[in-house]
Amino acid sequence: MGDTFLGYRRENGAAGVRNLIAIIPSVFCSSKVAQRIAQNVPGTVHFSHPVGCSQVGEDLEVTAKTLIGIGRNPNFAGVVVVGLGCERFTPTELAQGIAPTGKMLEMVVIHDEGDSIKAIEVGTRHALKMRRAASLEQRQKIDVSELMIGLNCGGSDTTSGLIANPALGIASDKLVAQGGSSILTELTELLGAEHILARRAVNEKVANDILTVIHNMEERLKRQTQNSSNEKRKHLISTGNYDGGLSSVVEKSLGGMKKSGNARFVEVFKYGDVPTKKGLLLLDGPGHDGEVTTGQAAAGAQIVCFPTGRGTPSGFPGVPVIKITGNPRTFERMKENIDINAGAVLTGEKSLQQVGEEIYQEIITVASGKLSKAEVLGHDEQFCITRMP
Amino acid sequence: MYVSNVNQMSAMDLGRLAGGKTALVLDQKDNVAVALTDLAAGDSCLVAEDGGRKYPVTVLEKIPFGHKFALVDLGKDEAVYKYGEEIGKMKAAINKGGWIHSHNMYCDRGMK
């Protein structure tokens, strides 16, 4: 047995690092009811969102699969599904998608209960019952090979590509070497570096998959900016990125991909799907922080590691987000938001290897119950399902 | 790969670097350095390559922390290398020690 963490063994054998109850609306119309239920019962988190109806085809399918994936995430001991009653993605379908995990599951439908106040009451009683049952669960020793981490960086500056991402890459490589999984996403921010990523594929099929998904993403972006009125909206690099010293998307991409270390990519998988292999994975999704971590959590990631040069406080409901900065000034200013000061490399206090090891240990400690700073402060902004054009 | 090149830099190296007016070269193929401190025009900056070679370069203009400057004279349309890979080309010629950023470097990828 390699390194271990203390986690929760779920009914279907999956390993969770938190023991929370998820309150998930099947449609935006029931988001406030879900939020109110969560407010009534500590130890629950809600997943308010703006979708679930007036969608068709792949767009609706991705919403459906992502909501089901969130419900299946092993960090949740139980799920209360909250529906309205007339939505396209029905609460029954959401519940049926989660049911095979064997976890506690209840459904509340506003139209069935009468009104939102009654639905809040019924949902609150379900959540309370689940919370008490979940409180009996004990953490147990689990091999790190059962950990899946999501990688995402936001609010980047030059220290992200220079320090924090390479340090996270060292931690990711260490987890992958022990049989664990690590997910890179942010395809919009890998443009120009795809030839380097493809070199790291485990075989020709995966190399082709990498090139294909990045090419498709670039084509999608081109379509979206074809109209000349969108001329000013075509850049994939933000004002903050420029201010930090990044001059092109390629430069940004080269720095961005460093957080995936040097391991070989074993699989490319679609947004809303769950990977079939373990190891370093590429999730086909755009670069918005929330869309990335939502896709990763829906794929089963129990923890997210998030380098941020300029400093972002955001977090994810029920999935710990570990913030890492390579900028010592940012750490000083935002030390209540940032978990790891990789800026210690820049100031000469630590080596990249040391910080990489520190991040790896933090992953195990957080997996075993230590709260990340975003969790303590209640940051949950990142839940955001991607849309299909 | 540039990743391992960065990894080979020791903490002490980077630490000494960050103490004074310093800059980092990420790969031997690179023709730019990244400023690890704010630099003013005329500053002599200690540039360190990943192999440990260090040499002074006088910067010609203000280079903010994290920004890049040229290590050699670069001609118009000449490629700019960082991480050992091309990150763009020069819109105009620039002298060694000049600031390289979006005002004088172009790269079409992701921009149109």
Structure tokens at A362: 């933090």
Q: Which residues of A touch B67 (CB under 8 A)?
A: 158, 245
A245 to B68: CB separation less than 8 angstroms, yes or no: yes
pLDDT by residue (tens digit) across A332-354? 999 999 999 999 878 767 878 89
B3 to A191: CB separation less than 8 angstroms, yes or no: no
Q: How confident is the model at residue A250 (pLDDT cuts 50, 70, 90)?
A: confident
* Domain at A20-134: CATH architecture: 3-Layer(aba) Sandwich (3.40)
Could you tell me if B99 and B64 are in contact, meaning their C-beta atoms sit under 8 angstroms apart?
A: no
The pLDDT, as a whole number, for residue B11 is 37
pLDDT by residue (tens digit) across B53-82? 789 999 999 999 889 999 999 999 999 999
With 50 as the cut, is the pLDDT of residue B10 above it?
A: no
Least confident segment among A128-132, A233-237, A354-358:
A233-237
Q: How far is B32 from chain A (nearest CA, A)?
A: 12
Q: Nearest 5°: CA angle at A64, between A176 and A60?
A: 120
Q: Which residue has the tokens 């009654």?
A: A118
Residue A223 burial by Cβ neighbours in a 10 Å radius (0-12, 13-18, 19+)? exposed
Q: Which residues of B touch A158 (CB under 8 A)?
A: 34, 65-67
**Longest Cα pair distance anywhere in chain A, in angstroms?**
63
B6 in contact with chain A, both atoms CB, cutoff 8 A = yes
The pLDDT, as a whole number, for residue A235 is 65
Indicate the class that CATH gives domain B2-106: mainly beta
Hey, where are the domains in chain A?
20-134, 143-376
Q: How far is A261 from chain B (nearest CA, A)?
A: 8
A247 to B105: CB separation less than 8 angstroms, yes or no: yes
Residue A238 burial by Cβ neighbours in a 10 Å radius (0-12, 13-18, 19+)? middle
Residue A100: count other Cβ atoms within 10 Å of its Cβ: 11
Q: How far is B79 from chain A (nearest CA, A)?
A: 12
Mean pLDDT over each residue of chain B, to the nearest integer = 81
CA nearest neighbour of A110 among A47, A30, A54, A34: A30
- E strands, chain A, in order: 4-9, 15-16, 20-25, 44-46, 76-83, 104-109, 140-143, 148-151, 181-184, 265-270, 280-284, 303-307, 321-325, 340-341
Sheet holding A140-143, edge to edge: A15-16, A4-9, A140-143
Q: How far is B63 from chain A (nearest CA, A)?
A: 9
3-class SS of residue A317: coil
Sheet holding B68-70, edge to edge: B54-58, B44-48, B22-24, B32-35, B68-70, B99-100
Contacts of A232 (CB under 8 A, 6+ apart): none
**Percentage above 90 pLDDT, chain B:** 54
Average pLDDT over residues A70-92: 97
DSSP character for A264? P
Phi, psi of A181 (to 5 degrees): -125, 150
A residues 6-45 closer than 8 Å to B (CB): none
With 50 as the cut, is the pLDDT of residue B12 above it?
A: no
The whole-angstrom separation of Cα A75 and Cα A20 is: 6
The whole-angstrom separation of Cα A9 and Cα A32 is: 31
Least confident segment among A279-288, A371-380, B24-33:
B24-33
The pLDDT, as a whole number, for residue A1 is 60
Greater pLDDT, A236 or A329: A329
Q: How confident is the model at residue B16 (pLDDT cuts 50, 70, 90)?
A: very low
Q: Which residue has the tokens 């975003």?
A: A374
Q: How confident is the model at residue A209 (pLDDT cuts 50, 70, 90)?
A: very high
With 60 as the cut, is the pLDDT of residue B4 above it?
A: no
